[in-house]
Amino acid sequence: MLRTFAGCQIVLALSACATQAPEPLPQVALAESAGAPTPAPAIGSSPCAPIDQPFVGTLCVPGGPGRHPAIVFFGGYGGNGDARRLALEFAERGFVTAAVSYFGVAGAPRTLVDVPVEIGVAAVAVLARRNDVDPARVAVMGTSKGGEYALLVAATSPSVKAVIANVPSPFAWYGLGTRGVPTGCSWARGGRPLPCVPEDASASKEIWKAMSAGNPVSFRAAYEAAARNTTAVERALFPLEQIAGPVLCLSAADDQVWNSSAQCELAMTYLRGHHHPFADRAVSFPGAGHEYLLARAGTSAAMNTAPMGAGGRMAFGGAPEADARAAQAAIEAIDDLLLYRGVDEHRLR
């Protein structure tokens, strides 16, 4: 079956993409089956506090009695800053939240190479066991590489009951080593790297040439070139059919990092082909760039380019007004998914 992947035609045979599942990932239980729920710690006047065990990140606990819905957030390659902001914002709305640092901290790989899925699974387990969390309403959300990781974590942990994948990939890309140099594979399970799509060396050289010239650099062409390796794409697809709840895939039509709209479309095709029994949904925001969600605070918070090494700039795409519109629509779509009583309300009848 021919699928349009940005400006390229990527051949993804239905036999590989929609009917033959990748090797199933074991359902990693870790602490999910252990003992009584973890008590809610006192956090003082702020709903959020940094933690370093059993994962490194931020834990936010809303006020009020009873069991709350929960969200585990994963940031992208640029760090966990916006994941922490989202964790605070959703805690203020009544969610127990965690922003998890899955690389570059103690107990995790230094770079985004061979990052264990077990880090994210353990974070989900911690929240699902809390006595102030409704275990039927535990979600994960990630942006960019964090969206890629969120889909992998959700396909591995049965405790995840909903996924918000923001400008993600439904398959594993190459890792990002020191200074972002393509290195190995991004993810690992049980100490072994998971299959990934390798870089296209010639396309990467063109990127570095543009960077050296001081021009705004779009990485989209390099990812598109690498995606022509359809055999690698098929091997690197996550077994999304193992996700125990609905998937909301959000993308930016003017994404200049990678073609998130095509990648969300591929995720939906895969889920439909595997008869995923939930109301999965993809939304592509016109004119928006890769970092559009930052503009939920307004146009002044939009980030359409950013400085890189050697005096260059990285292009994210979009424009402040389009990003702000997209961010507002994204929050509404997330609310539509998360403001429900249980996962069965999103099961297809």
DSSP category for residue 293: G
Under 8 Å between Cβ of 31 and 125:
yes
Q: What pLDDT, on a 0 to 100 scale, did the predictor assign at position 309?
A: 67
Q: How many helices (H) and strands (E) does the chain have?
A: 9, 18
Q: What pLDDT, on a 0 to 100 scale, did the predictor assign at position 12?
A: 37
Rounded CA gap, 241 and 273, in Å? 9
Under 8 Å between Cβ of 279 and 346:
yes
Residues paired with residue 138 on neighbouring β-strands, in sequence order: 70
Q: Which two tokens stand for residue 153?
A: 């974590």
Q: What pLDDT, on a 0 to 100 scale, did the predictor assign at position 211?
A: 77
The model carries a pTM of 0.88
Mean pLDDT, contiguous 10-residue spans, the chain (349 residues): 35 34 42 35 70 94 93 95 96 96 96 98 97 96 98 98 98 95 96 97 85 83 96 98 98 98 98 97 98 98 87 91 98 90 54
Query: Which of these, 9, 21, 18, lies nearest to 266 by C-alpha position?
Result: 18
Query: Which of these, 6, 14, 7, lies nearest to 269 by C-alpha position?
Result: 14
Q: What pLDDT, on a 0 to 100 scale, did the predictor assign at position 1?
A: 32
Task: Write the secondary structure of 34-68 as one string of H (helix), E (strand) and C (coil).
Answer: CCCCCCCCCCCCCCEEEECCCCCEEEECCCCCCCE
Q: Which domains are present in the chain?
A: 40-344 (3.40.50.1820)
In this structure, the strands spanning 133-143 and 115-116 are unpaired
